């Protein structure tokens, strides 16, 4: 069972990232009095009800994201299971109205993993951008960015960190194998020798591990990436939010009390970071309550081609969402040798406008 007050506090950042109206979800959160179950007043029920209201108003994508919040942070019972199913179904209805978004099944360690893709073509293969969320973000949360990726002249894939959403994989130190598996599956329909990764939160850790092993990956962007101290610093781990600890334990298949001992050997050391030969654009937050500041310092001293932006915010920098989103896409463009200069110029202008709105 989740701590309800903590759950309500952390879900707000994800609601903001999905552009859900604050006036709506604020009153919705007030109605929630129970984390468990699927009856009125429970976490899943109230979010699902909001999704149904959005669908009735013809707002299918908003409905998808309300259902997504209903399974947050992970499926732990029938109510959240129902919310996840509704989330996937709503996204399926929405994507059928969008040109070029398709499901692709990727085999990872003998298990079928579903991803959402766009811009795939055997006749004209494009450079590939793979987007992955963190430990609480299913692929449907970020897949609406796919049409924008296609507009940049790239093929795009949105996948889930192992164990999240529909993923049948177990989250572990070999979770990085997801990325080469995606590239192998799309080799005939995308220019996978020119692949870039936009890996949010904990998936950034796996993205670095993949990039160290697969030279088809030419650049990566992370946001709130755990590197070393998160996995090894017991004093920091004692203050990590319970929701983070419990979600990690669920995905790794261990008890919450054992999870930090379980992941201790997953840390990336300075030598590994120095071996990273590609550019790494990192978004960090000075008030991050999940990732310790030592991990940012380790990036500064060890990554040879680091592009860093630091926000005065909490994990994921939700208050700087618009700026971070544009900065991340611009970073990808700047890493590409064949990027369209018109797209780069447009993103540069958009970044300036976003910064002006935040007074930066």
Confidence label for 282 from pLDDT (cuts 50, 70 and 90): very high
Confidence label for 324 from pLDDT (cuts 50, 70 and 90): very high
Domains and CATH numbers, the chain: 4-94 (no CATH), 102-358 (3.40.50.1820)
Mean pLDDT over 6-29 rounds to 81
What values do phi and psi take at 330, rounded to 5?
A: -65, -40
pLDDT at 25: 79
- The more confident residue out of 226 and 98 is 226
SS3 358: helix
Mean pLDDT over 60-70 rounds to 95
pLDDT at 359: 67
Confidence label for 26 from pLDDT (cuts 50, 70 and 90): confident
Write out pLDDT tens, residues 204-232. Answer: 999 999 999 999 999 999 999 999 999 99
Write out pLDDT tens, residues 291-317. Answer: 999 999 999 999 999 999 999 999 988
pLDDT of residue 360 exceeding 90: no
pLDDT at 36: 86
The closest alpha carbon to 116, from 162, 151, 147, belongs to 147
| CA 323/CA 335 separation, integer angstroms | 18
| Bond before 351 cis per omega within 30 degrees | no
Structure tokens at 276: 């990273």
pLDDT at 209: 98
pLDDT of residue 319 exceeding 90: no
Confidence label for 94 from pLDDT (cuts 50, 70 and 90): very high
pLDDT of residue 358 exceeding 80: no
H/E element holding 159?
strand 155-159
| CA 182/CA 184 separation, integer angstroms | 5
pTM confidence score: 0.95
Mean pLDDT over 116-126 rounds to 97
pLDDT of residue 15 exceeding 90: no
Confidence label for 79 from pLDDT (cuts 50, 70 and 90): very high
| CA 227/CA 212 separation, integer angstroms | 14
| CA 49/CA 67 separation, integer angstroms | 9
Sign of CA dihedral 30, 74, 221, 277: positive
Confidence label for 13 from pLDDT (cuts 50, 70 and 90): confident
| Residue whose tokens read 């040879």 | 304
| CA 141/CA 91 separation, integer angstroms | 9
pLDDT at 318: 85
**DSSP string of 317-328?**
-GGGHHHHHHHH
pLDDT at 322: 87
Provide the Cα torsion 343, 178, 73, 13; round to 10°: -20
Residue 282: CB partners within 8 Å, gap ≥ 6? 204, 221, 222, 223, 225, 296, 299, 303, 306, 307, 308, 309
pLDDT of residue 249 exceeding 70: yes
Provide the Cα torsion 69, 75, 79, 81; round to 10°: 100
Sign of CA dihedral 230, 231, 232, 236: positive
Average confidence score pLDDT of the chain: 94
pLDDT at 134: 94
Confidence label for 99 from pLDDT (cuts 50, 70 and 90): confident
């Amino acid at each position: 069972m989740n701590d309800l007050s903590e759950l309500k506090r952390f879900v707000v950042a994800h609601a903001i990232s999905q552009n859900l109206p604050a006036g709506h979800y604020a009153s919705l959160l007030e109605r929630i009095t129970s984390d468990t179950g699927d009856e009125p007043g429970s976490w899943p029920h109230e979010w699902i009800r909001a999704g149904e209201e959005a669908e009735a108003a013809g707002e299918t994508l908003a409905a998808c994201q309300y259902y997504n919040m209903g399974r947050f942070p992970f499926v732990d019972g029938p109510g959240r299971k129902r919310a996840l199913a509704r989330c996937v179904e709503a996204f399926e209805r929405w994507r059928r109205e969008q040109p070029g978004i398709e499901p692709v099944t990727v085999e990872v360690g003998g298990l079928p993993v579903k991803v959402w893709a766009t811009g795939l073509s055997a006749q004209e293969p494009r450079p590939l951008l793979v987007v992955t969320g963190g430990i609480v973000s299913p692929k449907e949360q970020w897949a609406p960015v796919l049409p924008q990726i296609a507009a940049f002249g790239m093929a795009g894939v949105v996948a889930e960190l192992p164990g999240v959403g529909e993923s049948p994989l177990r989250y572990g130190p070999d979770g990085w194998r997801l990325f080469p598996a995606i590239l192998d599956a799309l080799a005939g329909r995308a220019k996978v020798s020119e692949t870039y990764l936009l890996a949010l939160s904990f998936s950034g850790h796996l993205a670095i591990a993949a990039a160290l092993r697969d030279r088809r990956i030419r650049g990566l962007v992370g946001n709130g990436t755990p590197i070393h101290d998160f996995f090894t610093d017991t004093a920091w781990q004692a203050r990590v939010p319970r929701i983070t600890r419990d979600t990690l334990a669920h995905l790794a298949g261990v008890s919450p009390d054992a999870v930090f001992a379980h992941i201790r050997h997953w840390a990336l050391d300075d030598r590994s970071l120095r071996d990273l030969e590609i550019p790494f654009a990192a978004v960090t937050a000075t008030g991050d309550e999940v990732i310790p500041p030592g991990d940012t310092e380790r990036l500064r001293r060890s990554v040879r081609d680091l592009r860093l932006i630091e926000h005065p915010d909490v994990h994921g920098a939700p208050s700087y969402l618009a700026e971070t989103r544009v900065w991340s896409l611009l970073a990808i463009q700047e890493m590409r040798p064949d990027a369209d200069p018109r797209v780069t110029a447009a993103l540069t202008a958009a970044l300036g406008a976003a910064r002006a709105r935040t007074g930066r």
